[in-house]
Chain A
């Protein structure tokens, strides 16, 4: 099973600033990595797939990078609606489909 580890667990950033979230895989997942955003009481929403491709309707301030075992989600200028929990998930080698434990992005 591929273990996904996200850091930090909580990130405090001011609106308008940049946020950088990390995700590490226990073995290579190539570029088969997705990022999801989840707001309280809501279902997860797909943001990024293929490590760097934005899903339909996702604003350009969201960008993903990385391959192999190290990945980054960057939000270039935080808006109020971006404060949420973010999960990475690998889909290179499954079952099981494994998620990171999440990074909570909170307002500083």
Chain B
């Protein structure tokens, strides 16, 4: 069974930093790209960042570029998100999510299939 367990959320002041972790189990972590997706209270889903299986490719949403850093440790089956210069608008539940690559009609695609339960980050003075 695929399991993704986030940790590291909490209350932080504007301008502060926080590091989120995601522990993965039930699948070969090193073979999958991973993501962070967030959801502000009462709002919709917002993709934050993605990292390929070997960390060769990393992408960020414009809203976090230059402030957040995604990383992974395949030996520890873990995904991380270092968040610096936090703002009130970063307040959200942060989900760790797995990407699944499938092929159809001669082409291959990547979509997000499994999500963790999330960890709440609150940025407030």
Q: What is A's interface to B at a CB cutoff of 8 Å?
A: 32, 34, 36, 38, 42-46, 49-50, 55, 87, 89, 91-92, 94-102
Contact = CB atoms under 8 A, between A and B. Distances in A.
B109 A100 contact: no
A50 B107 CA distance: 12
25 contacts: A32-B109, A36-B45, A43-B117, A44-B45, A46-B112, A46-B113, A46-B114, A49-B102, A49-B111, A49-B113, A50-B102, A55-B113, A87-B45, A91-B109, A91-B111, A94-B47, A94-B59, A95-B60, A96-B47, A97-B50, A99-B44, A99-B46, A101-B44, A102-B44, A102-B45
Interface of chain B: mostly helix, strand, loop or mixed:
strand
Given A46-B112, A50-B104, A91-B109, A98 B47 contact: yes
